């Protein structure tokens, strides 16, 4: 490793629960609240769920385990980690560099969606977006996203909040906060589920989410499931490698990854159970993406007893989910700037924030000042999403799997996963290795080609 000045102990996660909370905090995010429930409902319910589970177990989970193992072995940021673990002069460190770029691209639009969530907490409290008329809630959302000042200022509020938490450090910032927020998230979700399930058409909502429809299983939905599994578990760009570098040496990596994946799935399912029974009860169409969260949901809540309070709960919950994910995305460039460029934690965070305010503003202004500005036929919001989700993440996933499967090798993986022989999980390491060497790279390649519309 090329770090000097490491006389002080490296910051990291201090307890088993802290590791779990922070890692789960990264996995749980906006993806759970609208992407997962909607995609599951629209693509065949239980049959999609089955494919999603297979994609997670065969591809996403092995890559997640690989990233964490690499990070913990090297105890460094993704660039330094791959420089240290790869044979001399092989450019695997480019995975880390691409991850840093992806982090800025994802954060540029992700932070703007979080900005809307923050703004909606206030709007829910003031009651200004509560209306049973979808046209009214649609106009309210439209006026927010097309106002350049509000869009920018709320994004800065989000960035400054996240930056403040990151400056506290890994143990005192990320870990301490996610340890408090993750249990709260589950509590609020269960509360909303109980309310939603008590409504008239709860059954219809559940049927939308769970009724298996195998006729909707096409090659395209299989690939959608795989892409979702990737985004959900925050893999392919060094986030999990970065968090892995904070794992304790006695942490059981495969068990932790499995728990994170299961808990993340729980949050996704609970989000669907909280949302769709209510949406069907009041006769709305289950819309996709931002429209579901910012237009349909306010209209639904306006018709539920105590709906205003519950809507505040819903947006606070979404903000909590998004916070852990945003922190993990920002931690990648912060750690790289710290360890590779020798900046202090404060300066590294401040530089990341400054750059993000710049790149993020292009997404904040997508619906106002820059509404006419497109590249390759996409506005900045969609372009950044496309390039990161469809190009960098899957490519990163392929190369991480190939690196472990063909360069790092079975022996290193087995030693890392068994904590140098202290855990008896050799068979499991064998399965993970086989998946990484052959199965994951091929399957991911299919996702990529589909993303690029090459077949």
Q: Interface residues with ligand TRP (CB under 6 A)?
A: 26-27, 29-32, 231-232, 234, 237, 239, 325, 328-329, 393
- DSSP per-residue letters across 173-188: IIIHHHHHHHHHHHHH
| Gyration radius of the chain over CA positions | 21
Least spacing, CB of residue 10 vs ligand TRP, in Å:
22
Nearer to ligand TRP, 304 or 329 (CB): 329
Least spacing, CB of residue 260 vs ligand TRP, in Å:
10
Residue 113 has which token pair?
A: 């969606």
Instruction: Report the C-alpha gap between 224 and 238 in whole angstroms.
Output: 22
Instruction: Report the C-alpha gap between 235 and 212 in whole angstroms.
Output: 28
Q: Residue 378: what are its φ and ψ, rounded to 5°? A: -120, 145
Least spacing, CB of residue 396 vs ligand TRP, in Å:
9
Least spacing, CB of residue 332 vs ligand TRP, in Å:
8
Nearer to ligand TRP, 387 or 429 (CB): 387
Instruction: Report the C-alpha gap between 362 and 358 in whole angstroms.
Output: 7
Residues 6+ apart with CB under 8 A from 418: 424, 425, 426, 429
Least spacing, CB of residue 372 vs ligand TRP, in Å:
29
Nearer to ligand TRP, 228 or 311 (CB): 228
Residue nearest to ligand TRP (CB): 29
Least spacing, CB of residue 117 vs ligand TRP, in Å:
12
Nearer to ligand TRP, 140 or 329 (CB): 329
Instruction: Report the C-alpha gap between 263 and 301 in whole angstroms.
Output: 26
Least spacing, CB of residue 134 vs ligand TRP, in Å:
25
Residue 134 has which token pair?
A: 């979808």
Burial label for 423, CB within 10 Å (0-12, 13-18, 19+), is middle
Nearer to ligand TRP, 27 or 336 (CB): 27
Nearer to ligand TRP, 27 or 413 (CB): 27
How many Cα atoms are found within 13 Å in the side-chain-facing hemisphere of 281? 24
Residues 6+ apart with CB under 8 A from 251: 16, 19, 72, 419
Nearer to ligand TRP, 199 or 233 (CB): 233
How far CA 371 is from CA of 81, 92, 153, 172, 397, in Å, comes to 40, 38, 18, 40, 33
Nearer to ligand TRP, 222 or 237 (CB): 237
Instruction: Report the C-alpha gap between 241 and 85 in whole angstroms.
Output: 13
What angle do helix axes 78-85 and 61-74 make, rounded to 10 degrees?
80
What angle do helix axes 440-451 and 219-232 make, rounded to 10 degrees?
110
Least spacing, CB of residue 303 vs ligand TRP, in Å:
28
Nearer to ligand TRP, 42 or 423 (CB): 42
* Contact of 343 with 337, CB cutoff 8 Å: yes
How many Cα atoms are found within 13 Å in the side-chain-facing hemisphere of 350? 5
Least spacing, CB of residue 233 vs ligand TRP, in Å:
7
Least spacing, CB of residue 109 vs ligand TRP, in Å:
11
Residues in the chain: 455
Instruction: Report the C-alpha gap between 192 and 247 in whole angstroms.
Output: 33
Q: Where is 244: in which H helix or E strand?
A: helix 239-244
Least spacing, CB of residue 178 vs ligand TRP, in Å:
12
Q: Is the dihedral of CA 53, 55, 58, 62 positive or negative?
A: negative
Nearer to ligand TRP, 93 or 231 (CB): 231
Nearer to ligand TRP, 103 or 221 (CB): 103
């Amino acid at each position: 490793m090329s770090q000097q000045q490491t006389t002080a102990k490296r910051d990291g996660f201090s307890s088993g629960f802290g590791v779990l909370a922070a890692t789960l905090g990264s996995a749980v995010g906006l993806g759970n609240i609208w992407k997962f429930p909607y995609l599951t409902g629209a693509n065949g319910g239980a049959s999609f769920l089955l494919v999603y589970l297979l994609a997670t177990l065969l591809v996403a989970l092995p890559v997640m385990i690989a990233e964490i193992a690499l990070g913990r072995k090297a105890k460094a940021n993704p660039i330094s980690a791959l420089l240290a673990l790869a044979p001399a002069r092989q450019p695997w460190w480019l995975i880390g560099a691409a991850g840093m770029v992806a982090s800025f691209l994802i954060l540029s639009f992700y932070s703007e969606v979080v900005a809307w969530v923050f703004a909606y907490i206030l709007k829910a409290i003031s009651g200004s977006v509560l209306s049973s008329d979808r046209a009214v809630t649609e106009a309210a959302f439209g006026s927010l996203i097309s106002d350049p000042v509000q869009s920018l200022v709320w994004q800065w509020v989000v960035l400054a909040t996240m930056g403040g938490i990151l400056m506290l450090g890994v143990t005192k910032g990320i870990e301490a906060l996610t340890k408090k927020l993750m249990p709260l998230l589950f509590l609020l979700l269960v509360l909303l589920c109980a309310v939603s399930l008590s409504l008239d058409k709860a059954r219809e909502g559940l049927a939308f989410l769970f009724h298996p429809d195998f006729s909707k299983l096409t090659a395209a939905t299989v690939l959608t499931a795989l892409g979702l599994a990737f985004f959900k578990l925050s893999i392919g760009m060094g986030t999990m490698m970065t968090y892995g570098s904070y794992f304790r040496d006695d942490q059981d990596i495969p068990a932790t990854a499995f728990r994170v994946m299961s808990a993340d799935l729980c949050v996704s399912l609970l989000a669907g159970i909280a949302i769709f029974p209510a949406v069907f009860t009041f006769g709305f169409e289950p819309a996709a993406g931002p429209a579901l969260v910012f237009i349909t949901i306010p209209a639904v809540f306006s018709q539920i007893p105590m709906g205003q309070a519950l809507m505040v709960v819903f947006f606070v919950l979404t903000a909590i989910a998004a916070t852990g994910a945003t922190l993990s995305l920002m931690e990648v460039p912060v750690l790289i700037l710290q360890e590779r460029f020798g900046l202090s934690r404060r300066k590294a965070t401040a530089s990341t924030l400054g750059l993000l305010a710049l790149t993020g503003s292009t997404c904040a202004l997508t619906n106002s000042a820059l509404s006419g500005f497109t590249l390759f036929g996409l506005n900045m919001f969609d372009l950044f999403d496309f390039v990161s989700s469809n190009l960098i993440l899957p490519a990163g996933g392929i190369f991480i799997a190939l690196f472990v499967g063909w360069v790092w090798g079975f022996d290193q993986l087995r030693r890392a996963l068994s904590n140098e022989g202290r855990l008896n999980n050799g068979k499991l390491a064998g399965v993970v290795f086989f998946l990484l060497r052959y199965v994951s790279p091929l399957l991911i390649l299919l996702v990529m080609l589909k993303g690029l519309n090459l077949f």
